[in-house]
Amino acid sequence: MTSPPPILLACFVHLVLHTTLFIQLDPDIFNDTPILGSQIFYLSVMDLLCDCEVIPDHWKGVPPWGKFILETIVSFLIGEFSMMLGWLSMEKFLVELLKRTSLRYHSKLLVLEISTVALGIIFSVLVAAMTNRTAKMQKVGSKVWSTIKQYRQAPWTKKEQTVQCQSFVRRRISMFMQKRFHKI
């Protein structure tokens, strides 16, 4: 699995700084295109990348700083190429499809935003299913819930256990004493 710091760095550079390192695109391409759907798509790609090993097995002897640099470069490359080849082509297709409709400009932007967000969410759900995130989240959730229940009930259970233990000891002693004195 790819370590989180290179993926977080790639997400920061792409999502916060809106910068690409390896691919230079014309800024006019991004005029009047929605952002939210592309960000959901990018995060899904990074989620998929987080579940994969990007460094080959024969490079396992690389020191940690070298592994960080390699994973960072690969994270940037995969993220940028997936955005350029996958997302931008899909977005261009939707823009061309909407140009052929008789909708007004703002309606076209709204339909484009809704459709890109829907496609981003669909891709995110597919990635979550492929990486088995639901089972992992359920496992983490059940651990958290059991811990909460344990600490929430801890004062009561200790008190109850002490009372139960004391009553058990009293019953045993009284049964022993009754049998002892009953025989006399």
Asked whether residue 34 falls in the same domain as residue 107, the answer is yes
> Which position has the higher pLDDT, 142 or 31?
142
pLDDT of 184 higher than 60: no
Final residue in a domain of this structure, among 112, 131, 150:
131
pLDDT tens profile 141-175: 788 888 877 776 655 555 455 555 566 666 666 66
Q: What pTM was computed for the model?
A: 0.70
What is the spatial distance between Cα 41 and Cα 39, in angstroms, rounded to a whole number? 5
pLDDT score at 72: 92
pLDDT of 2 higher than 60: yes
pLDDT tens profile 98-126: 889 888 988 988 999 999 999 999 999 99
**How large a percentage of the chain has pLDDT more than 90?**
26
Which has the minimum average pLDDT: 4-8, 42-46, 57-61? 57-61
Q: Which of 7, 12, 9, 6 is CA-nearest to residue 68?
A: 6
Q: Which residue has the tokens 């490359």?
A: 77
Asked whether residue 115 falls in the same domain as residue 140, the answer is no
- Average pLDDT of the residues in 16-32: 73
Final residue in a domain of this structure, among 94, 111, 131:
131
Asked whether residue 52 falls in the same domain as residue 107, the answer is yes
pLDDT of 179 higher than 80: no
Expressed as residue numbers, the domain containing 152 is 134-184
Asked whether residue 109 falls in the same domain as residue 181, the answer is no
- Cα–Cα distances (Å) from 111 to 32, 87, 166, in that order, read 12, 17, 70
